[in-house]
Amino acid sequence: MAEPMSDSNKVENVIIVGGGPAGYTAALYTARANLEPLVFEGFQWGGQLQNTTDVENYPGYPEGIMGPEMMAQFRAQAERFGTRFVTDDVDRVELSDGGVQKVFLGDEEHRAKTVILAMGAEPKRLGIPGEMELGGRGVSTCGVCDGAFFKDQKVIVIGGGDSAMEDSIFISKFASQLDVVTRRDQFRASKIMLDRTREKDNIGFRNPLEPLEFVAGESGKLEKVRFRNVNSGEEEEIAADGAFVAIGHVPKSEIVQGQVQTDEDGYIETEAGSTRTNLGGVFAVGDVVDHTYRQAVTAAGTGCMGALDAERYLRDEEPPVEAHWMPGGEPAEIATGSG
Ligand code: NDP
C-alpha cells in the first residue's frame, strides 16, 4: 500500500473522503486522469458492503459476489493506477469556496485543490431505552452480520421498508419464528420484496406497533420488546431472543455540517445533474447525497461523476491556455500551467 505524503506544504489535486463504492470509483477515475488521488478510506474501509454477503444486483457479476470481496476489487483497481490510501477516519475538515481545502487526521493537516466527499450512510436508530445497552446482546442493526446467531430462536425485525424485508428473508433462514413489526399498517417496501417475505412460512406481520423499549431478562440479554398499539393506545409486549432495527439510514455528514449545504435530514445537497456542492472545489457523491436509490451501482456511478467534475474544475482553475503559433502549421494550444 502506498504511503501518503504528510508534507503539509504539498497541495494534492484531489482528496477523497470515504472508502465505499462511490469513493473507490472516484479514486479510479481521478487516478486514471493522473490526478494522484489521496483516499481517506476510513478505519473500516469498504463502507456498508463490508457488512453484506451476496451482492446479486451489481452488473458484471452474473453469479453474484460477496460484498467485502467486491470492495477489495474496487480498491485494488483504484490502487493499480496509483491511488494512495489512508486507512483511518478523518477527524475534521476545513472547506472553503475555492482555494485550498483542508482535511485533518488529528493534528495532521492534508491540503488539496479539490475534495470529493463520499462518506456514505449508516443505520438509523430508534432512540429508545435498551437499544444501545443491548447492542450485541440481542439487539442489532445488521441482519446479515448477526442473523445466524439466532438459529431456532424467536426474532423480530422492526421496519417496513426494503431493508426490513431483506433482513427478514435472510434471518428467517435461521430463526424459528420471525415477526416483522411496523408502526403503520402500510409498508414502504417494494411489492416484490413484500411478496417474497409473505411467502415465508415462519414470518408473520404485526402492526401498527410503535417500539417503546427493549427489555433485558435476568441473563442480561434481550427478553422482550415493549410496544404501543397506535390504534388502541395500549401497550403490548413481544417476547424475542433477537430484535433487528431496520428503519433506514442516516448520512455520515457530521464532519461537514455547518460548512457545506445539507438538507433537513443531513444529506449533502448537490446541484441537480452534478456532484457540485455549494462550495467551489468540493464535490459530494454516493449515499451521503442520495436518499432514494442507495445502491452500490448508483454510488459507483456518482463516484465517477464526482471524479469528472473535479477533473473539470481543476482544468478550469489552471492558468489560462495560450495560443502559440507553430511554424508551418495551425496555432496549437499549449497550457502554460504545470499540467
Ligand atoms: P425506508 O425509508 O424505505 O423504510 C424505513 C422503514 O422504517 C419504514 O417502514 C418506516 O416507517 C420505518 N421507520 C422509520 N423510523 C421509524 C421509527 N422511529 N420507528 C418505527 N419505524 C420506523 O428505508 P430502507 O432502508 O428500508 O430503504 C431505503 C432505500 O433503499 C429504499 O429506496 C429501498 O428500496 C432501498 N433498498 C433496496 C433493497 C433491495 O432492493 N434489495 C434493500 C434495502 C434497501 P414509516 O413508513 O412509518 O415511516
Could you tell me which residues come within 8 angstroms of residue 202 by beta carbon, excluding any fewer than 6 positions away? 172, 175, 176, 177, 178
The whole-chain average pLDDT of the chain stands at 91
Question: How many other β-carbons are positioned within 10 Å of the β-carbon of residue 115?
Answer: 29
pTM of the model: 0.76
Alpha carbon of residue 40 to chain centroid: 14
Identify the band that residue 145 occupies on the pLDDT scale cut at 50, 70 and 90. Answer: confident
pLDDT for res 104: 98
pLDDT for res 5: 47
Q: Which atom of ligand 1 is nearest to the CA of 127?
A: 18
pLDDT digits (tens, 9 = 90+) for 96-142: 999 999 999 999 999 999 999 999 999 899 999 999 999 889 999 98
By alpha-carbon position, which residue is closest to atom 18 of ligand 1? 126
What mean pLDDT do residues 228-235 have? 98
pLDDT for res 339: 31
Among residues 305, 251, 308, 314, the alpha carbon closest in space to that of 273 is found at 305
Per-residue pLDDT for 325 more than 50?
no
What mean pLDDT do residues 59-72 have? 95
Q: Which atom of ligand 1 is nearest to the CA of 293?
A: 32
By alpha-carbon position, which residue is closest to atom 15 of ligand 1? 247
Identify the band that residue 6 occupies on the pLDDT scale cut at 50, 70 and 90. Answer: low
What mean pLDDT do residues 259-269 have? 97
pLDDT for res 142: 86
Per-residue pLDDT for 25 more than 50?
yes
Long-range contacts of 206-211 (CB under 8 A, 24+ apart): 206/156, 206/179, 206/180, 206/181, 206/182, 206/238, 207/160, 207/181, 207/182, 207/183, 208/182, 208/183, 208/184, 209/181, 209/182, 209/183, 209/236, 210/183, 211/126, 211/128, 211/158, 211/181, 211/183
pLDDT for res 333: 43
Per-residue pLDDT for 331 more than 90?
no
Ligand 1 neighbourhood includes 188 CB (under 6 angstroms)? yes
Per-residue pLDDT for 48 more than 90?
no
Per-residue pLDDT for 3 more than 70?
no
Cβ 57 vs Cβ 107: under 8 Å: no
Identify the band that residue 317 occupies on the pLDDT scale cut at 50, 70 and 90. Answer: confident
What mean pLDDT do residues 295-308 have? 96
Question: Based on the number of CB atoms within 10 Å of its own CB, is 116 exposed (0-12), middle (13-18) or buried (19 or more)?
Answer: buried
By mean pLDDT, which of 28-32, 48-52, 110-114 is the weakest?
A: 48-52
Per-residue pLDDT for 293 more than 90?
no
Among residues 118, 123, 104, 92, the alpha carbon closest in space to that of 19 is found at 118
Per-residue pLDDT for 95 more than 80?
yes
Better-scored residue on pLDDT, 5 or 6:
6
Q: What are the residues facing 214 on neighbouring strands?
A: 225
pLDDT for res 7: 64
Per-residue pLDDT for 332 more than 60?
no
- Cα(247)–Cα(239) distance, rounded to whole angstroms? 20
Ligand 1 centroid–CA 296 distance in Å is: 17
Domains of the chain with CATH codes:
11-122+249-335 (3.50.50.60), 125-245 (3.50.50.60)
Q: How many percent of the chain have pLDDT more than 90?
A: 82
Among residues 91, 88, 109, the alpha carbon closest in space to that of 100 is found at 109
Q: Which atom of ligand 1 is nearest to the CA of 186?
A: 46
Per-residue pLDDT for 334 more than 70?
no
Per-residue pLDDT for 168 more than 50?
yes
Ligand 1 neighbourhood includes 159 CB (under 6 angstroms)? yes
What mean pLDDT do residues 69-86 have? 98
Ligand 1 neighbourhood includes 147 CB (under 6 angstroms)? no
Better-scored residue on pLDDT, 77 or 334:
77
Cell numbers for 92: 475534521
Identify the band that residue 42 occupies on the pLDDT scale cut at 50, 70 and 90. Answer: very high
What mean pLDDT do residues 255-283 have? 97
Ligand 1 neighbourhood includes 168 CB (under 6 angstroms)? no
User: Among all residues, which ones are annotated catalytic?
Assistant: 142, 145-146
